[in-house]
Amino acid sequence: MSDFCYSRPMLERIVRHAELMDSIMERLGIDPAVAARLDRGMAWYEARTRCLACCEERQCRHWLEQTDPAPMAAPRSCANVEFFRRCRVSRSNRDGGIAASARIDGDAS
């Protein structure tokens, strides 16, 4: 008897979702090393888990196909919007201080 979690369709889904999340992070300009350090790795783990459980794969693929070269935020339907925002703010704080993180959040003041 085989375990469903290790069946080929499930493994393919896991790989697809991991690739989607990686592509979204790349498109948003998120450094995976920064993401992996948030909350000592727990934020990354939780984000991956949310992504694997998500049923919005089609919306993510559509978002990735958009021609805008540098979108400011992940797809609205994404369960990891807050995680991606934290990654960008963390990177900005490391690279350029609070002024850069304010621009990411859309606040020019």
pLDDT in tens, 14-44: 999 999 999 999 999 999 999 999 999 999 9
Measured in residues, the chain has a length of 109
Q: Does 48 map to a domain?
A: yes
pTM score of the predicted model: 0.73
Q: Does 26 map to a domain?
A: yes
Cα gap 46→40, rounded to integer Å: 12
Q: Does 13 map to a domain?
A: yes
Q: What domain range includes position 48? A: 4-104
Residue 95: which pLDDT band, with cuts at 50, 70 and 90? Answer: low
Q: Does 109 map to a domain?
A: no
Number of domains in the chain: 1
Residue 70: pLDDT above 70?
A: no
Residue 106: pLDDT above 70?
A: no
Cα gap 105→107, rounded to integer Å: 6
> How high is the pLDDT of residue 75?
84
61 three-class SS: helix
